[in-house]
Structure 1
Amino acid sequence: MHLRTKIFSVALVFGLSSGFSTAAWAQQPSLTVDRDPIASPDPDTAPAGQTAPVGPGNNTGDKISSGRGGYTLRRDAYEVRLNATVLDGNGRSILTLPQDAFHVFEDGVPQTVNSFRQEDLPVSIGILIDSSGSMYDKRDAVNKAAVRLIKLSNPKDEAFLVDFSFEPYIDTDFTSDVSKLEAGLSYVKSSGGTAMYDALLASADYLSKNAKQPKQVLLVVTDGEDNASATSLEDAIARIQDLDGPVIYSVGLLFGKDTDKRESRHARRVLESLAEQTGGIAFFPKNVQEVDSIADQVAKDIREQYTITYHSTKSPTLGGYRQVHVDAKYKGFNKLTVRTRTGYFPKVSGGADKTEK
């Protein structure tokens, strides 16, 4: 028997005023997993005037804020880490660039690259599958693609499987065993509504607390709009970014005779926003036959990235949103495009600079 025990995590409700937002604590549905509940921080136990702990390490000095273009992150870290994909003018991944080909700008100010490497780093992956009733006819293709993604991954990768309708459930906990993932897929039943934002928030939280690898990814597959979440898209992105930015790859199965065009356009914008703000990619196959090939593209993109770090020329104690832009220029290439996250808020704890994981 596959037993699943309810877990609740604490989510933030954000004010959208300038500067650091005022946080109020709210209980949100979180992941259900086949083991004992994981304790969440209790805001009632936080000292007066202090934000209750959130994010990796439950650092009470961590804060999150809204900014231009969405929500971004930064722990109490002076060193900024970027995972970057470089494409040529034909959309092909370029893996042979040296460090001096990269030019990093923060708020328009050139930054000095502190470290640089291009290698297939192990990844912790959360695979989120929409199990609402409308997904019934698409499940076989989605299951096949999920299995293929793991088969194409680094042998040291680990993945967990989540299905969500009204609530998110873990069907397979972290594993590198394809057979365990296949077994978990058999537990998924299509019924109910679509609470995608809740599922993303809960999965990112679970990832931050349990993942073995610092490089982290969420892949979400859905066929429509969120219609059941307790949290909003903006709040979900803010919380995900505060957990130090798992990259989100989204797959929108926005096809079929019963698909509402207006809802489809909105769902597309949502999935594109989730990917863009975290450095991932949004995919929109035209039919179920194209779903399998997307697994190949996601696996390839994850494995063909550069890791770039730099020390900001602006002290993190100054706070404020920092826009990040990365250019790549190298002889033999007329046009190179760099995809990475587009900004962050620095985090400060006790005034000391710390290196992010």
Structure 2
Amino acid sequence: MIRIAAIALVGLAVAGVSAQQPVFRAGVDLVNFGVFVADKAGTPLTGLKPEDFEIVEDGTRQTVQYFAGGDPENAPPLHLGFMIDMSGSMADDMKDIRTAAIRFLDNVKRVQDITVVDFDTEVRVARFEGDDPRLVEHLRRRKPDGYTALYDAIGVYLTGASSQTGDKILVMYTDGEDTRSAMNQGELLDLLKSSDVTVYAIGYLQRGGSNRLTLQQTLHRLASATGGQAFFPTNLKDLDKMYEKILGDIAARYSIGYLSTNKRQDGAWRDVKVRVLREGLKHVKIRTRSGYYAPYKASEARR
């Protein structure tokens, strides 16, 4: 059955997004991390097993309780978010941008659903099953206009993704700085650190002028907080190569879960280190989140 859900969020009123740290449910929770492993040349390393990984939380080694990935056949369900900047500055390039986006989405494997977020002054969200033919028409329908509410758009997506289970990946495309959001960058970073979504940012910043370096740093900061990456094409022909790189990351991704030995529900930040132990692979490149916020229970937080 084909399903589509749509949410329209107008102006600066961003429904469902809080600038504060989310309150997690009390109880014992499996801590999940998406992990990407590559050799020195950046080639993904697949075929690793649970015993090849070490998870250390605040200096204490943890026991892996859940493991999947490194192989598309054994990976958990994939919930993909695709975010596209529809502000007025995108008008001249929108045809090429849409074409590259559609090719990317056509090549995503094992996707359970795709949440499309398009934004300008407003933020709009639609969720499709992976094979829904209306997805392409949805991408083609909107016309570029208005300002750039980038931070609010990411916040809206994170709120919607919080109830999903499995791998959650957000691929976002923008050509400039945020000019409209109610949320600021610090508040958004807190939300990103509180989520288990991996963000890949593509910034086409050729019109960024003197702000280009600042914009690159911002997108790097947002993506790296989640274990993702930021890419900066110098021309639109580079888009397909960058989307191919993201597809390779998704296919080679490991999902690792554990039950923390720290049972306190104080909402505090916990640092997590992921290492590869297999002989000969101790100097590999690992991308993942740097930690997470513990579950929260008011009586324990006051101690």
The answer to whether the Cα contact below 8 Å between 1:325 and 1:342 also exists between their aligned partners in 2 is yes
1:236 to 188, 205, 216: 188
- Aligned equivalents of 2:49 and 2:7: distance in 1? 49
What pairs with 1:8-157 in structure 2 (closer than 5 Å)? 9-14=15-20, 62=23, 76-118=27-69, 119-157=74-112
Identity among equivalent positions (%) equals 29
Partner of 1:280: 228
Aligned mates of 1:326, 1:75 — CA distance in 2: 25
Q: How does 1:209-288 map to 2 (within 5 A)?
A: 209=163, 211=164, 213-242=165-194, 244-255=195-206, 258-261=207-210, 263-288=211-236
Q: Which stretch has the larger CA shift, 111-120 or 85-94?
A: 111-120
1:291 alignment partner in structure 2: 239
Distance 1:351 1:154 in 2: 44
Give the conservation status (yes or no) of the 8 Å contact 2:200–2:228: yes
Give me the whole-angstrom Cα distance separating, in 2, the residues matched to 1:86 and 1:204: 24
Secondary structure of the 2:162 match is helix
Residues 95 and 75 of structure 1: CA distance in aligned 2, closer, same or farther (over 3 Å): farther
CA contact (8 A) 1:283 1:294 kept: yes
The Cα of 1:160 is off from its aligned counterpart by 2.4
Give the drift of 1:240. Answer: 4.2
Tell me if the contact between 2:266 and 2:295 (Cα under 8 Å) persists in the aligned partners.
no
Change (3 A) 1:112 1:204: same
Q: Distance in 1 between matches of 2:64 and 2:118?
A: 40
Structure 1 residues 334 and 343, CA gap change in structure 2 (3 angstroms): closer
Say if 1:276 and 1:77 are closer, same or farther in 2 by CA, change over 3 A: farther
Cα deviation 1:112-148 (Å, max 9, x = unaligned): 2223222333211121111111112222232122212
Aligned to 2:158: 204
- Residues 62-99 of structure 1 deviation map (CA, whole Å, 9 limit, x = unaligned): 25xxxxxxxxxx97544311111111111010012222
CA separation in 1, counterparts of 2:92 and 2:183? 28
How far apart are 1:178 and its partner, in Å?
5.9
Is 1:344 the counterpart of 2:292? The answer is yes
Structure 2 CA distance for partners of 1:326 and 1:290, relative to 1, 3 Å: same
Matching residue of 1:185:
139
Q: How far did residue 185 of structure 1 move?
A: 1.4
Once the two structures are overlaid, the 10-residue window that deviates more, 99-108 or 219-228, is 99-108
2:212 maps to amino acid: S
Answer whether contact 1:76 1:346 (CA < 8 A) is retained. Answer: no
User: 1:208: how far off?
Assistant: 3.1
SS at 1:326's partner residue? strand
DSSP 3-state at the match of 1:9: coil
CA contact (8 A) 2:120 2:146 kept: yes
Secondary structure of 2:244's aligned partner: helix
Tell me, yes or no, if the aligned pair for 2:19 and 2:188 is still in contact at 8 Å: no
CA RMSD of aligned residues (A): 2.5
> What is the aligned partner in structure 1 of residue 3 from structure 2?
none
Unmatched tracts of structure 2, length 5 or more: 1-5
Match of 1:165 in 2: 120
Say whether the 8 Å CA contact 1:145–1:293 is kept in structure 2.
no
Letter in 2 for 1:181: L
CA deviation after TM superposition for structure 1 residue 319, in Å = 4.5
Q: Give distance in 1, aligned partners of 2:198 and 2:281.
A: 27
Q: Which range moves more in the overlay, 343-352 or 150-159?
A: 343-352
In 2, Cα distance between the equivalents of 1:12 and 1:275? Answer: 20
Cα distance in structure 1, aligned partners of 2:91 and 2:64: 48
